[in-house]
Chains A and B, each alone.
Chain A
Amino acid sequence: EVQLVESGGGLVQPGGSLRLSCAASGFTVSSNYMSWVRQAPGKGLEWVSILYSGGTTYYADSVRGRFTISRDNSKNTLYLQMNNLRAEDTAVYFCARDQSYSSAWHFWGQGTLVTVSS
C-alpha cells in the first residue's frame, strides 16, 4: 500500500528555515515524480515544486531560490528545504505522487502545517 507521511512543520520566524520530510512506503521515491503542494489557511491549492525520477526539478516562482526539493534514496524520503521563510509561506504542505500512466497526483500525504510568524 502506498503511504506518504509528512513531518517537520512548525512555527518559525520570518527569515528562518525549516526542512519538511515526506516518508514514503509501498513504493520507491526515486522511481516516481514527487511533488510538494501547499494550501494557505482557508485558501486554495498551490503547486510548489516537483522532483523527477531522473533528478530534474521545477519550482513555483514564489519559492524559487528559497526552497529546494530533494530526496534520500536510502531513506525513501522526499524533502523540502525552506529558507528565508515569509509570512505568505504559512500553509499546510502536502507531498504527492504521480502514477506511471498519469502525471496527476494519485497519492497524497496528510500534510504538515508550517506557520511563519514572529
Chain B
Amino acid sequence: DIQMTQSPSTLSASVGDRVTITCRASQSISTWLAWYQQKPGKAPKLLMYKASSLENGVPSKFSGSGSGTQFTLTINSLQPDDFATYYCQQYNSYPYTFGQGTKLEIK
C-alpha cells in the first residue's frame, strides 16, 4: 500500500497569512494526487486534483504542486472560512489512501 504522510499535523496561522502543507508518498504516484478540505460535520470538498489542477469554483488562492513523491498545497491570504482540516489523497493505485490530515487553526 502507498503511505501518505502530511506535515504538519496541526498548523496555527493568522488571517492574512500564507501557509503551505506538505504531503509525501511512500512511492511515486506521478501527479495522481488530490487535496480536500473538510469542516466539522461536513463532507470533504475537493480543492485540487492531478496535483495542481484547481477544482471548478475553488478560489485561486489555493494552489498545488509536486510530482512523484513530494507535493504541497499552498493557501494564500487566509480567511476565517479557510480554517479547516486538509487531506491529501493518492489515486495512483489501490487501495487509494489519504494522509492523516492537517488541522489549520487560527492563531
Contact = CB atoms under 8 A, between A and B. Distances in A.
A103 B97 CA distance: 13
A47 B100 CA distance: 13
Interface stretch (B10-18, B20-28, B49-57, B72-80): B49-57
Interface string B43-62: 11110011001010000000
Given A44-B87, A47-B89, A102-B50, 15 more contacts: A44-B98, A44-B100, A45-B36, A47-B95, A60-B95, A61-B95, A102-B49, A104-B34, A104-B46, A105-B36, A105-B44, A106-B49, A108-B43, A108-B45, A110-B43
Interface residues of B, number: 24
Given A103-B32, A104-B34, A105-B34, A45 B46 contact: no
A67 interface: no
Q: Give the dominant DSSP class at A's interface.
A: strand
Q: Give the dominant DSSP class at B's interface.
A: loop
Interface in A85-118: 94, 99, 102-106, 108-111
Nearest to A106: B46
Interface residues of A, number: 21
A50 B91 CA distance: 12
Interface of B: 32, 34, 36, 38, 42-46, 49-50, 53, 55, 87, 89, 91, 94-101
A58 B32 contact: no
